[in-house]
Amino acid sequence: MRAGSSSWLSKAVLCKNSRTLRTLWRATPTNERGQREIRSPSRENGGVTVALHPTQVLAPGLEVAGPYLSRLSARSALYTDLSVLLRMVNGAPDREAVHYLVVTDNVLTRPSAAARAKLWQELKTRYVLDPEHPLFAAFQREWRRCEGDPERALTAYVLLALNDRLVADLGTEWLYPLLRGAPRELRVGDVLAFLDHSAEAHPEVKRWTDETRLAIAQKYGASVRDFGLARGSVRKTTIRPALYGAPVRLLVTGLRLAGSKDEEILRSKAFRLLAIAEEEVVDALGELHRVGALTFRMQAGLIELEADSQR
């Protein structure tokens, strides 16, 4: 990219019907950096115009070749800070306005300008905080539709996992059986063992110091508790989450942004983030359809799944 050019280059349309996303954006195979090149259409289709970087990965947590990042070594998920910010702006933040609240107004009460700038960067890398990004735009819609704090917390957890491969893998592979068997104890040593086991497939883990790994393990447990998936301070035990519409709808949207077809969504292990087994996805979607949280029908091999429709 030449100097001075915008980091957001191409235009695409985010339709209100998230089912249309996979036809609006044609994802090519991943390049050598594990990114997908997104080609946008030349016409608009009655939705919200958003900007996409040609190599922007829309749901990094679902990228097969995505790397593990050590974000949690510095801070936990910072969900409490995110929640405060979103409540102040009624769930619809303007990026510049939120930056001003954090860095200038110091609404999150950090002691120095450097600490406030670091907090802003950490929140942005965890939760995107860009209304023009389709994943965060979907999260904004779902956050405003949440009916209570537990649903909001789970929806933020799904956003974090969709944006972070390590959080996604920990959730679907390590935390999942502990949620299913709740209450089960969360042990730092078990997270460290997961990281060690993952090092073969993710060589970046081998470059982390022991201190970094320990910090990730400790802060992951604290983050799980903050999202309402565990209780306790020193000794943390899991809580199996209830079935809510907003986190499931956001997860479906994230899977579509990653290029999944409907039949693939119905057997995706990503639902393990919410303690839903692959063989239970159809029943879970059917229950949410029954209560009007989304539209889901299967008939004669045809699938109708509208994750952002209101019935």
Q: Whole-angstrom Cα distance, residue 24 to residue 45?
A: 9
d(CA 244, CA 151): 6
Query: Of 136, 84, 71, whose CA–CA distance to 110 is shortest?
Result: 84
- What's the CATH number of domain 71-258, 2.40.160, 3.40.50, 1.10.10, 1.10.3540? 1.10.3540
In this prediction, residue 91 carries a pLDDT of 61
Structure token digits, residue 197:
């086991």
CA-atom Rg of the chain in angstroms: 19
Q: How far apart are CA 42 and CA 264, in angstroms?
A: 28
Strands 26-27 and 48-52: unpaired
Domain ranges of the chain: 10-57, 71-258, 259-306
Q: Residue 289's pLDDT is what?
A: 97
**Quick one: angle between helices 113-127 and 149-162, nearest 10?**
80
Residue-level pLDDT at 301: 82
**Which pLDDT score, from 0 to 100, does residue 242 have?**
98
How crowded is the C-beta side of 158, counted as CA atoms within 13 Å?
Answer: 32
- Assess contact for 271 and 284: CB atoms under 8 A: yes
Q: One digit per residue, pLDDT tens: the chain, 311 residues?
A: 333 333 333 333 343 444 444 434 434 444 433 344 444 343 333 343 444 444 568 999 999 889 999 999 999 999 999 999 998 887 666 778 888 899 999 999 999 999 999 999 999 999 999 989 999 999 999 999 999 999 999 999 999 999 999 999 999 999 999 999 999 999 999 999 999 999 999 999 999 999 999 999 999 999 999 999 999 999 999 999 999 999 999 999 999 999 999 999 999 999 999 999 999 999 999 999 999 999 999 988 899 999 875 55
